[in-house]
Structure 1
Amino acid sequence: MILDQLVSRLEQLFEPLRSVLRPILSDPQVALLWTVLVAVSVGTLVWDIRKRNQAIPSLMKGVWGLVVLYSGPFGLALYWYAGRTQISHDSLWRRGVRSTAHCYSGCGAGEVVGVTIAQGILALAVGWVAAITFGFAYVFGYALTVGPLMQEGVSFGEAVTDAFYSETPSITIMEIAAIGIDLLLAADAHMGDILFWMALVFSLSIGFLAAFPINVALVRLGVKEGMKNPAELNAGS
């Protein structure tokens, strides 16, 4: 397949980086350390929300929970920078972070499900893994926008149209980067391998970084709102 040939060429191009990262991501001690960091980060997030940030809407609580679960201390730092009601002021960059986090939470779930089913369980070829994972990422990503819009009274058709125009650029860039990195590092890994899971985790954070500039641009252009300023929620409460 053309996609398999493309992946092969990319593997050759990025072989130096691949040769460095694969041993690190396959190391049980690195995996254990990462698990501890994620557990501490999630615990800190839960404590902070319960003690100081209950005013945050349930949707964003879930969003930040997934972001920290995917990216550990990196995700917690993003929450501290842009998601807490105690932020000193809002900005385009903070709005971009919240918008990316919203997209990331849904797309990340779709990527985890897609890779686990297509590669981990069914052991499909690279092309099918990429296609199925992209499909799940789009479905989960769109759902996280369509659902809340319909709860606000927007019709299903209008909500889907809004999600398509506002989320497609971000989802596409995020998943090209994330799925590409995951397959580059662990296309031959099995579900029982540490590399399978650590490459997936690593690729998710790379996807966030890739999508962030796109979301900043979309917020600046008014295509996306960038989620509500949490400091205003604190003032209102």
Structure 2
Amino acid sequence: MSVRHSAVNESITPLAAGGGLSGVAKQIEHTFAPAREVIKPILSDPVVVGAWAVLVLLSVGVLWWDLRKNNQAIASLMQAVWTLVVLYSGPFGLAIYWYTGRTQISHDSLWRRGFRSTAHCYSGCGAGEVVGITLAQGILALTIGWVAAITFGFAYLFGYALTIGPLMQDGVSFKEATWDALLSETPSITIMEVFAIGTDLLLAAEAHMGELLFWSALAFSLSVGFVVAWPVNVALVHFGVKEGMSNPAKMGSDSQAAAGD
């Protein structure tokens, strides 16, 4: 996340005076310092980032080709979800779609439902992060604490909206849809954003928006958020807190049946 070095110091100093929270943050930073020293040069390398961008574009192209040719039965919302997932995570996002999101999957499972549920949450939260960080840092030029807080806020807003909107389209009242979103999405969004924003801060707290590291660290941190949120979503689906996204194979079967009629 991007702020000038002086702004970082200004935001950390008051925490240091407070003690506890600052101590935890410093301990986390110290623990992950070796990993940061390895990852930052990679994410700052134009060749690496350029190659990754090419992989992302190719992955999106494969996704759109498959959706158009083989999976038109998939709901438009999920097509948009998978597009964002692949934009954020490139070939890894495409692999998740191929394993869990196509109508051609051999069978459904708890693990696949967990992946689809995480992808749904991930698409909204990721969009919220991009909007939040652009507004807070790029437009308002706030200090790191405010950038983190506003980014969290937008991630929650977009994540909830992606659940509330479809529920209301199905005839659920706004109050009921909001309550359902709060219960089902809050654990997943919270875990995802704590790790995603935390990773971004560890890697790029001093990067400017014009620097490669700013955007590559954001993309990397989003993928970290997906990984840690997946087991949470599996548990939520297992215990019935979330229903999980519908089985795409059934969409394909329904589409074929309709064509046969």
TM-score bucket of the superposed structures, by smaller chain = over 0.9
In structure 2, the partner of 1:226 is 244
What amino acid is the match of 1:14? F
Conserved 8 A contact 1:7-1:184:
no
Matched residues in 1 for 2:198 and 2:62: separation?
A: 31
What secondary structure, in the 3-state scheme, does the structure 2 residue paired with 1:163 have?
Answer: helix
Matched residues in 2 for 1:138 and 1:117: separation?
A: 15
What amino acid is the match of 2:219? V
Matched residues in 1 for 2:206 and 2:29: separation?
A: 12
What secondary structure, in the 3-state scheme, does the structure 1 residue paired with 2:131 have?
Answer: helix
What secondary structure, in the 3-state scheme, does the structure 2 residue paired with 1:123 have?
Answer: coil
Q: Which range is displaced more, 13-22 or 55-64?
A: 13-22
Please point out which of 202, 205, 222 is paired with 1:187. Answer: 205
Please point out which of 189, 196, 217 is paired with 1:199. Answer: 217
Matched residues in 1 for 2:48 and 2:185: separation?
A: 34
Give 1:11 deviation, angstroms. 2.2
Identity of aligned residues (%): 72
In structure 2, the partner of 1:113 is 131
Matched residues in 2 for 1:150 and 1:89: separation?
A: 29
Give 1:108 deviation, angstroms. 0.6
Tell me, yes or no, if structure 1 residue 168 matches structure 2 residue 186.
Answer: yes
CA shift in 2, pair 1:120/1:23, >3 Å: farther
In structure 2, the partner of 1:211 is 229
Give 1:9 deviation, angstroms. 3.7
Give 1:5 deviation, angstroms. 5.8
Please point out which of 95, 104, 116 is paired with 1:77. Answer: 95
Conserved 8 A contact 1:100-1:215:
yes
Q: What do residues 53-101 of structure 1 show as CA deviations (whole Å, max 9, x unaligned)?
A: 0000011000000000000000000000000000000000000000000
TM-score normalised to the size of structure 1? 0.97
Matched residues in 1 for 2:45 and 2:156: separation?
A: 32
* Root mean square deviation of aligned Cα: 1.2
Q: Which has the larger radius of gyration?
A: 2
Give 1:4 deviation, angstroms. 5.8
In structure 2, the partner of 1:48 is 66
What secondary structure, in the 3-state scheme, does the structure 2 residue paired with 1:100 have?
Answer: helix
What secondary structure, in the 3-state scheme, does the structure 1 residue paired with 2:246 have?
Answer: coil
Give 1:134 deviation, angstroms. 0.5
TM-score normalised to the size of structure 2? 0.88
Conserved 8 A contact 1:10-1:184:
no
Q: Which range is displaced more, 141-150 or 13-22?
A: 13-22
Please point out which of 20, 36, 45 is paired with 1:18. Answer: 36
Tell me, yes or no, if structure 1 residue 139 matches structure 2 residue 157.
Answer: yes
Give 1:22 deviation, angstroms. 0.6
Structure 2: unaligned runs, 5 residues or longer: 1-13, 16-20, 256-261
Q: Which range is displaced more, 3-12 or 215-224?
A: 3-12
Please point out which of 82, 106, 120 is paired with 1:64. Answer: 82
Matched residues in 2 for 1:5 and 1:111: separation?
A: 26
* Alignment: residue pair count: 237
Give 1:225 deviation, angstroms. 1.0
Matched residues in 1 for 2:220 and 2:25: separation?
A: 18
What amino acid is the match of 2:89? S
What secondary structure, in the 3-state scheme, does the structure 1 residue paired with 2:171 have?
Answer: coil
